[in-house]
Amino acid sequence: MSSEEKDIVKSVERSLDILGCFTMEQQTLTIKEITTKLSLPKSTVFRLLNTLKSKNFIEQDPETQKYQLGYKLYDLGNIYADKLDLRKLAYPIMMELSKKTAETVHLNILDMGQRVCIEKVESTHQIRSSIKVGARSSLCFGAAGKVLLAFLPENEIKQAIINEQLSSEQEEILRKDLKKIRDTGFIVTVGDRVIDKTSISAPIFDSTGKVIAGLSLSGPIERLKSKVGCLVEELIAAVELLSLKLGGNYHLSSFASIKEKTWELY
């Protein structure tokens, strides 16, 4: 056993495991569901849940007796979010982009082999994108995921393909899209992840030249198809500005000129 493993406090580790059981898809859980997920005795889970409840990390519905995350995590999340320069820098740029395009704007990062939305500005239209902040999705489908995947090392791209169990045909389509992103600096997808939605995404570079996030515009196909060119130009201007504020460079000179593109939905 390593010294790091010796330093781990089992009860704290188990408490954190309990918090990790809750997801966007499962926001409430019974004690039985938690014990099954963690393979722990019910008595142990019950004691840990009561401790977490006493500190407001867990709440329990008095009617259903189900557990959910408590407000203390929201407070801590806000503290963490406030220190993220990326979100703070991106938000006014996203607001301006949404104002100019009237479409929903998402800021996405890579986390544990998935794309995670960390900020969003809603479209003013009644029909709009429904992705929530904190939502996770595959890197292999949709413009937002593919932009993050395109600049990863080959071994990580292969692992993502294996994880998604893509067919050879799906892998071929994905590889073409990744090349398109590296060649042009952005991608437009139609019905790729959500059947009636168009998404446009471009990468954000930091001071080391690394892609640390992606910015996306999305909305219904029928509304976006007539203005794709304009939307791409506005999106690229936004990622250029955000990359610059982060000390990076969008490297537009290394991509094909957007003004020479013929805008067609892919």
Mean pLDDT of the chain: 85
What digits encode the pLDDT tens for the residues 42-67?
999 999 999 999 999 999 999 999 99
The per-residue pLDDT for range 234-247, each reduced to its tens digit, is 999 999 999 988 88
Q: Are strands 197-205 and 211-220 parallel, antiparallel or unpaired?
A: antiparallel
Tell me phi and psi for residue 56, to 5 degrees: 65, 25
**Tokens at 42, concatenated:** 């019910």
d(CA 67, CA 24): 14
How many residues are listed for the chain in this entry? 266
The answer for 187, left when phi > 0, alpha when psi is -120 to 50, beta otherwise, is beta
Q: What are the tens digits of pLDDT across the range 207-226?
A: 788 899 999 998 888 788 88
Contacts 24+ apart (CB under 8 A), 80-84: 81/118, 84/118
In terms of Cα–Cα distance, which of 203, 218, 213 is closest to 255?
Answer: 203
Q: In CATH, what is the architecture of 84-260? A: 2-Layer Sandwich (3.30)
Residues 6 or more apart whose Cβ sits within 8 Å of residue 227: none
Hey, which CATH number is domain 3-75, 1.10.150.120, 3.40.50.300, 1.10.10.10, 3.30.1960.10?
1.10.10.10
d(C-alpha 137, C-alpha 142), whole Å: 9
Indicate the domain borders of the chain. Answer: 3-75, 84-260
More confident residue, 185 or 254: 185
